[in-house]
């Protein structure tokens, strides 16, 4: 998969530019991508975020900086957290 921003660009978005792949309650939020499986996500007053929940980690990032996930991977490698990679 490329970047989370690329995934966002491929998905259908609501009238405020939110791409929602999970049940989501949205209030005053724009340009946000949510993929949290079966978990309900509430967005209140946020802008241009990526919210991705997996069984072992939760990512919340500015959509324009989500490609920096590779930096987090490097930190986890240094910490010996191969279980999360």
pLDDT tens readout for residues 49-60: 999 999 999 999
Angle at 5 between CA 72 and CA 56, to 5 degrees: 40
Q: What pLDDT shows up at residue 4? A: 87
Longest dimension (CA), the chain: 43
Which two tokens mark 10? 């491929």
Whole-number Å distance between alpha carbons of 24 and 11: 15
Mean pLDDT score, 18-44: 97
Mean pLDDT score, 52-77: 92
Query: What are residue 41's DSSP bridge partners?
Result: 24
The percentage of residues in the chain with a pLDDT greater than 90, rounded to a whole number, is 80
pLDDT at 16 over 70: yes
């Amino acid at each position: 998969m490329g970047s989370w921003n690329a995934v966002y660009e491929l998905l259908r978005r609501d009238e405020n530019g939110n791409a929602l792949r999970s049940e989501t309650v949205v209030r005053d939020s724009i340009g946000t991508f949510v993929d949290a499986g079966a978990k309900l996500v509430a967005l209140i007053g946020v802008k241009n975020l990526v919210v991705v929940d997996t069984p072992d980690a939760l990512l919340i990032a500015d959509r324009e900086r989500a490609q920096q996930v590779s930096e987090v991977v490097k930190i986890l490698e240094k910490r010996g957290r191969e279980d999360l990679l």
